[in-house]
Chain A
Amino acid sequence: MRKTRKTMLILLSAAMMAGAVSGCSGSSSKPEESIEFTEAPSTEAPTTQAAGGETTAAGGETQAPEAADPNGDKPTDEGYGILREASVNKIGSLNPLTYINSYSSTQIKRSSMILYTYFPNEDYTFCDLSGELAAEDPIQVDDEGKVWQIKIRDGVVWENGDDLDANDVYYTWRMILDPKLANLRASNFAKDVIEIENAMNYFEGKCDWEEVGLKLIDDNTLEIHTVSNHDAREIMTHLAHPANCIVNEEYYEKGMNADRTETLYGTSLEYWISSGPFLVESWTNDAEITFKKNPNYVFKDKIWLAGINIKVVEDSSTQMQLFDNGEIDYVKLNAETFLQYEEDPRVLFSPANSVRHITFNTINPNQPILANEKFRQALFYATDRETISKMIKEDPADYIVPTTHIIDLEKGIRFRDTEEGKANTHENYGYDPEKAKQLFEEALAEEGIDKVTTTMIYNDAAPQTVVSEFLQQSWQQALGDKFELKLQAMPSSQRGDLMRSWATKPDCYEISWGGWVSTDLMPWNAFKYWTTYYSAKNEPYLSEEFDEVFDAANFGEDRFEDGVRLKEVAQMEQMLIEPAIILPVTESLDKYLKADRVELTMKNWANRVEWGWDYSKITE
């Protein structure tokens, strides 16, 4: 028996040791499969290295501590200094045709070429939409504005030195619309600001590739045929969408499976090649990515940085510790941490191009009063937006189009500054408890009920928790004992799924939060979320009249005439606010804390380029 026990002990110990060893060293034999031994350069504390005058991680240069301006007069090919970021988001994929979130698209644009993109303007006060891979603005070929040619810039190369020309763009177009691949971003290319002739038909297998309105004229020229007439600005805006970043045929095919239904392109360094302002130097999935400046980038004179290092840090308090410790260069502040730094001159405000709003499920059979316009209006007027905005440090909003949205780009006029925009706002941000009470009583009488008890679902995180709890009290205070609001917290993704299931489950929710991030240079396009044909609608708002106005603003023949779009945008906003289809509350505002070692070249926050982190300088 003792022998058996001994044997068992030895066997079990050996098994556990083998497990430990396999966990530790299994990766050493296959470095490419391992997290532990990923071939990444040390990104160890660039601050310390710089201070010590040693070699930096990405730049490979030696810094002279006594140098007055380490950046020099103009950017060098290698650049100077590493911008260190921490992010709660994970990249997942750098494939522009399948990326999931906007954070991924930011990293894709950092390392990929695209036909048109937004740069800071000459005096770094605003954005400038111009060609990156395209040599010039699109050239109108026909009289109607439906056929456009794009000339490709000479001398653009991939990371490995291969030419990047019109053939790569044409291959990208063919792949994004490939019916077998069914790429996630196909519709972003086929129909958004412009609609490409037969693009979706090809995607659905209804026509041949030759019938699609995309032509390769020569190695430097491409042609696009659209369904409606457009101007050059619309063509450029459409092609500036991250889904239009160019993919590399060799690497795209390398990752393709046997039946050509999926590709691993952009999922790891093995299946990725860069071409944009920065090159991906190392990448450990879901943990860390390091970019270095692309010395062959066509606009390398705009880039001062030697590189960018991003670590995935999901915990916000850990991010703050890293910032306070000088290990990252900027950090996003949440409502609580912002209170500590409110007066700090290093705080940067960044409008989020979104209005936080409340939305109603008007077809919920268990809560017919939600379909009552007067009831929804009562809640609109019972909402004390100023108090809420002070609580969560955002701007009060009784409107839908955010203040950053520009209606006339040439004149730089913001929609909210126009007479039409101002006409859609209310005194005291719409807060009128007396009117709210009166409308509520009328709604009760119309519905023939004595009391309303309804439930609001919200994200289980600040600031929605804080505001929801405030509304629970303040709405009851304004409307009286006949109104009761119940709250139900849930994770953001679950809430989103629940809301979007209204078509199949009409009782899925009653009241919820919403907020769409929209194109700030095209406010007319931002209303697509309320059209009947939008695929991920949060609320059952189905209005043919609204669709007509939207189509007129986006594709109508007279939309380029002076003031036409302005009126249509104002009309769409009015159509949503007046019957309280949605109930705007605040305008989202992100806050960042920036380290002193980073000098922003942007003089202010600007649409599209925001604070222009990629164009910043490291001054240490």
Chain B
Amino acid sequence: MFRYILDRIIAMFITLFIIVSIAFMVVRLMPGSVYEMGGDLSQTVIDALNAKYHFDEPIIKQYGYFLENIFLHWDWGTSAKMRPNVPVFDILRDRIPITLQINLISLFAALPVGMAAGILAAIRKNTIVDHLVSLMVVLFISIPSFVFAAGLQYFLGFKSGAFPIIYNVSAKGVLRWKSMFMPILALSFDPIARVARYLRAELAETMNSEFMLLAKTKGLTYAQSTIRHGLRNSMVPLMNIIIPMFANVLGGSLVVESIFSVPGMGGLMVDSINASDHMLTVAILMFYSLISLITVLIVDISYGIVDPRVRMGGEK
């Protein structure tokens, strides 16, 4: 098992290295120069800045400096435009906590609701309850989170005044949590629907299994057999969709954060690309890649734990 995990971690770092290298090349090959930004800068200043940051050298040499700084000094560079001279990871460090907070809370809030809806739909299969849950699932999956966000902001924030229209960064305590409610809610709809849909399908299938019939034959009540056998058997596969869901939710928060003015990771990548802030763009791409790769790693490890055939890799 240790060897299996080690292999996966090595593979993850190789993949990350490839992603970062491609990201560096793609970003540097984009049209336009970092400092030719239409302001009142003389060519002398532009040339001096390009020389200072090696932007005037061939891309392979730039890549060499980039790797040298990372491997020798763990220096990922500084922002050129978004926050001039600030190390890129300091910018990410400021932004990541609030993004993680909102996304994780929305995910953990979504899980019990989604599971309850899924269980209800499965045990009331083909009834009005099941149809209502299915309708909810279709709506929550098909309507993007930013539509919910805009709707919530208008009705709950602007019209009713129940919640602040935007996230209040300077508020503390209850006021702060109150201003976080709508972005969290907007991000919760999609995971609620996915969990409900998956659990309904799994549980409905389990309920028709022969071992469930056996359990009932042995004298267990409907509720006992559902909770002890049906639900427990349906839960394990659910873990494999919950972890990747985290990466999906992070992607969805890009627009929601913009709508509620949350100073998180959302929009930072778009802003940095538009501003030609190359080092920051690469750092953000690395962050998202790392999150995705860790997600994949956890899923892989969990598969390995559950199913020994996976970690054996076909070995006899």
Contact = CB atoms under 8 A, between A and B. Distances in A.
Interface of A: 4-5, 7-9, 12, 15-16, 19-20, 22-24, 26-27, 33-38, 40-44, 90, 92-93, 95, 98-100, 179, 182-184, 186-188, 190-192, 200, 203-204, 255, 261-264, 267-268, 282, 284-288, 290, 311-315, 317-318, 321-322, 324-325, 327, 491-494, 496-498, 500-501, 505, 508, 528, 533, 535-536, 538
Contacts of B49: 182, 184
Given A35-B95, A92-B84, A311-B261, A20 B108 contact: yes
Interface stretch (B29-37, B115-123, B132-140): B29-37
A455 to B, nearest CB: 16
A236 B100 CA distance: 49
- Going nearest first, the 5 A-B pairs with the smallest beta carbon separation are A497-B32, A23-B100, A187-B42, A287-B263, A40-B170
Contact of A12 (B85, B94, B239): B239
Contact of B274 (A98, A321, A491): A491
A37 B97 CA distance: 11
Contact of B48 (A179, A317, A538): A179
B289 interface: no
A5 B95 CA distance: 35
Interface in B75-122: 78, 81-86, 91, 93-98, 100-101, 103-105, 108
A38 B84 contact: no
Interface stretch (B3-11, B153-161, B200-208): B153-161
A314 B258 contact: yes
Contacts of B168: 44
Interface string B282-311: 000000000000000010001001100000
A267 B169 contact: no
B218 interface: no
Contacts of B40: 187-188, 192, 528
Contacts of A23: 96-97, 100-101, 103-104
B85 A93 contact: yes
B170 A284 contact: yes
26 contacts: A5-B305, A8-B239, A12-B302, A20-B105, A27-B97, A35-B98, A41-B170, A100-B275, A186-B42, A187-B45, A192-B40, A261-B52, A285-B263, A286-B263, A312-B263, A317-B150, A318-B165, A318-B261, A322-B166, A493-B275, A494-B274, A496-B32, A496-B38, A497-B30, A501-B31, A535-B42
A36 B97 contact: yes
B48 A182 contact: yes
Contacts of B244: none
Contacts of B91: 285
B46 interface: yes
Contact of B85 (A16, A34, A204, A262): A262
Given A35-B95, A285-B263, 19 more contacts: A4-B306, A12-B239, A23-B104, A36-B101, A37-B172, A42-B175, A44-B168, A93-B83, A93-B86, A182-B49, A255-B85, A263-B85, A284-B169, A313-B261, A493-B32, A498-B31, A535-B42, A535-B43, A535-B45
B70 interface: no
Given A33-B93, A284-B170, A325-B165, A184 B305 contact: no
B276 interface: yes
A321 B170 contact: no
- Chain A CB within 10 Å, residue with most, of B38, B171, B305: B38
B39 interface: yes
A112 B172 CA distance: 30
